[in-house]
Structure 1
Amino acid sequence: MHTATKTATSSAVRLDEVRKTYGRGSAAVHALDGVSVELPVGSFTAVMGPSGSGKSTLLHCASGLDRPTSGRVLLGDADLAGLKESALTKIRRERVGFVFQAYNLLDALTVEQNIALPLRLADRSYDRRLIGDVVRSVELDVPLDRRPAALSGGQQQRVALARALVTRPDAMFLDEPTGALDTRTARTVLGVLRRAVDRLQQTALMVTHDPVAASYADTVLFLADGRIVDQLPRQSAERIAERMSHLGEW
């Protein structure tokens, strides 16, 4: 169960009664309304819901990109809500991996330099064997001295996955990671992601609107009006789409 009943040490990420409110008074918008959720170590969780349900806000609060209005966010044993900005930046750099729809690769750097960037920013030494291990984990078969602009969309997203994994983060957060890819390439990348999570016992939280993408996760959480209203263990895309239809999107 993805509920906040275990101790912090048994989970990679935990949210306790997290609320996020934008604005005040009658104009206030409650993007998250008392969300409690736990991501066990090594789990792969998808988050789905109608537009405006709070999916991105959940990801941003869970990863330390945004601060909740109230409640606790634990990354391992670190309470993110109580940290100063400098400490929060350090944790995001060293203990969290991010993958976005737009890849966010730097064209001035080679593939290898893009993958190693989080290590350089954290002032951590590394050797090429580490980069090679991560490249193999995401099944990337391109010359490491190539520039991202010379790669296909699927290859670029694998570079982004490798970059997110290179620090061996406590958790990896993915925001619509296949949204810019065609259907066939998206399925290939999702398969790579699923196998990388399994091999590395990597905890991952993925926001997606796509039932096919969600079908690769161990658990699917459904949000509506800032609250978790349901969850399903690993299911077919058809079953997930059917459940989504009752939330007003499908």
Structure 2
Amino acid sequence: MRTQTNSLRGQSSTGSPGFALRLDGVVKEYGKSGRGVRALDGVSVGIERGSFTAVMGPSGSGKSTFLHCAAGLDKPSSGKAFIGDTELGGMNETQLTKLRRERIGFVFQAFNLIPALSVRQNVELPLRLAGERLDPAWLEEILTRVGLGGRATHRPAELSGGQQQRVAIARALITRPDVIFGDEPTGALDTVTAKEILSLLRSCVDETGQTVVMVTHDPVAASYADTVLFLADGRIADRMHAPTADRVADRMTHLGAWA
């Protein structure tokens, strides 16, 4: 079993060496007390290193908030979030920025590439911003792995949508992060290209032991994961191991009524 959703409150506050990320009793409220919206309602989950997890749920279920709190983009109202053994709650914004740059990779629906930079320069950017030394051999390996070995000098406008998303994945991989977070990474792609990108993410897990957490609304995309977490009303309502697109679609159809 790769993803665990049992309560983890009894564990050490330093996290667990088996988990790439962990949420412990996380509550996130927006707005004033009594009138606010509780986007996450006591979520506890540990996601193991080297696993692929999809996060699904109806609109307003808390998927984006889950990603934001897990990735240190937003702070929980209560509870704790960890990347590896590092608790995010005690970090200031400068420390969080450094952690996100060095230990987290992001792949979004919008590719978020810089048009004036080449493929190589876009991929190198996280290391440049961090002031870290670039390993040319690692860069070439990453570009080859994502199928862009011959496109290093091209600019984003010269690439297809699928190729641009491959650049974004290479950029996410370059720092050897603890976790790659995907927020609807195939949402802007056609069906064939989406499958290529999902296969690439799957290979990052299977071949290099990367940890991927992907928010998606697409049952086919979720079927590439090891485990699907279903959110409803800010809580983990269910989980599914070895998912298929049909099983995921059926579960989503009944999620609201079940919850």
Q: Same fold (TM over 0.5)?
A: yes
The answer as to whether partners of 1:172 and 1:204 remain within 8 angstroms in 2 is: yes
2:89 aligned residue (77, 81, 88)? 81
The answer (yes or no) to whether the contact 1:138–1:193 under 8 Å persists in 2 is no
Runs of 4+ in 1 over 6 A off after TM superposition: none
| 8 Å Cα contact 2:55/2:228 also seen in 1 | yes
In the alignment, which residue of structure 2 is the partner of 1:45?
A: 53
Which SS does the other structure have where 1:90 is aligned?
Answer: helix
Q: Say whether the 8 Å CA contact 2:143–2:152 is kept in structure 1.
A: no
Query: 1:127 Cα deviation (Å)?
Result: 3.1
Aligned twin of 1:119 = 127
Partner of 2:4: 2
Counterpart residue number, 1:29: 37
Whether 1:202 and 2:204 are equivalent positions in the alignment is no
Give CA deviations for 1:53-111 in whole Å, capped at 9, x if unaligned.
00000000000011010000011111001111111111011111000000000011000
Give 2:164's aligned residue. 156
CA contact (8 A) 1:178 1:189 kept: yes
Match of 1:192 among 165, 189, 200: 200
Cα distance in 2, alignment partners of residues 105 and 214 from structure 1: 25
Tell me, what secondary structure is at the counterpart of 1:82?
coil
1:247 aligned counterpart, secondary structure: helix
Cα distance, 1:141 vs. partner?
4.6
Q: Output the CA distance in 1 between the equivalents of 2:147 and 2:17.
A: 31
Taking every aligned residue pair, what percent have the same amino acid on both sides? 60
Residue 91, structure 1, aligned to residue 99, structure 2: yes
TM-score by length of 2: 0.93
Equivalent residue, structure 1, for 2:26:
18
State the Cα distance separating 1:248 from its structure 2 match: 4.0
Query: 2:103 touches 2:177 (CA, 8 Å); kept in 1?
Result: yes
Aligned match for 1:215, one of 223, 227, 232: 223
Aligned to 2:138: 130
Q: Which TM-score applies when normalising by structure 1?
A: 0.96
Q: Which residue of 1 aligns with 2:238?
A: 230
Q: Post-superposition shift, 1:26?
A: 3.8
Give the SS at the match of 1:50: coil
Amino acid at match of 1:187: K
Paired with 2:149 and 2:232, the residues of 1 have a C-alpha distance of 40
Q: Which residues of structure 2 form unaligned runs of 5+?
A: none
